[in-house]
Amino acid sequence: MSDQFGGSGDPAYEAKVLMISVAARMAGMHPQTLRQYDRLGLVQPGRAAGGGRRYSVRDVVLLREVQRLSQDDGINLAGVKRIIGLERLLEQAQQRVARLEAELDAAYRRIAELEAIAPFPGSDMVPTNRISTALVVWRPRRNPDR
């Protein structure tokens, strides 16, 4: 969901500071609609000390998306709730993938550093300085109890 207010990396974007009347005006909705969406679980506002709802800019963007999906695309509110839930899961998965990719890049860099200082980069074998043609015969030990 794109918006004109800034990105999700901005702490102000997530701050639950907007009173319901302000959030409703920003979203172009009646405050009662916001209350209904809260009851349906479409948006989860914070609560002030006195119990009043507090919305973030992110919530306002979400409210606009709910309105667009329901009015412009004709999706019922249950469908909108499912779409929002799936978008949240997708966002979480994308964030996790980004973290894992960063960890993988760091691991590859560390491997490259270690290989650069090791005498035999990329080798899993113990290095030797001499070549041997010796043949080693292995015989299993016999069990004396037999």
Q: What is the CATH number of the domain that holds 15?
A: 1.10.1660.10
**In total, how many domains does the chain have?**
1
Helices (H), 118-134: none
Local structure of residue 29 (DSSP, 8 states): S
**pTM greater than 0.75 (yes/no):** no
Structural domain range at position 87: 11-110
Going residue by residue through the chain (146 aa), what tens digit of pLDDT does each one get?
544 555 556 777 788 889 999 999 999 999 999 999 999 999 999 999 998 999 999 999 999 999 999 999 999 999 999 999 999 999 999 999 999 999 999 999 998 888 788 655 455 556 666 677 777 787 887 776 65
